[in-house]
Structure 1
Amino acid sequence: MFKLKGLLVAWLSAVHSFSQKRLSWLLLLSFVVFFELCALYFQHVMLLAPCVMCVYERVAMMGMGVSALIGLSKPSNKWIRWAGLASWGYTAYRGLQLAMEHVGYQFNPSPFATCDIFPKFPSWAPLNDWAPWMFEPTGDCSKIVWQFLTLSMPQWLVVIFSANLVILAVIVLAQFVKPKAA
Structure 2
Amino acid sequence: MSLNEFLNDKKYTAAFFLLALCFFLLDWYLFAAVGEKEEHIRRLETETALLENRAKLPKRSSQMPFLETLLEDTTADTVFSAFMESGCAVEEIKEEENEKFHVFHVKGEGSFSQITAAFGIIKSKERWSAAELCALKREGNLLAYEVEVRAVRNRGTYEKEKYSPDRAYGDGKEPGGQNTRRRI
- With the length of structure 2 as denominator, give the TM-score of the two structures: 0.21
Q: Which has the larger radius of gyration?
A: 2
Structure number with higher strand proportion: 2
Larger RCO of the pair (alpha carbons < 8 Å, separation 6+) = 1
- With the length of structure 1 as denominator, give the TM-score of the two structures: 0.22
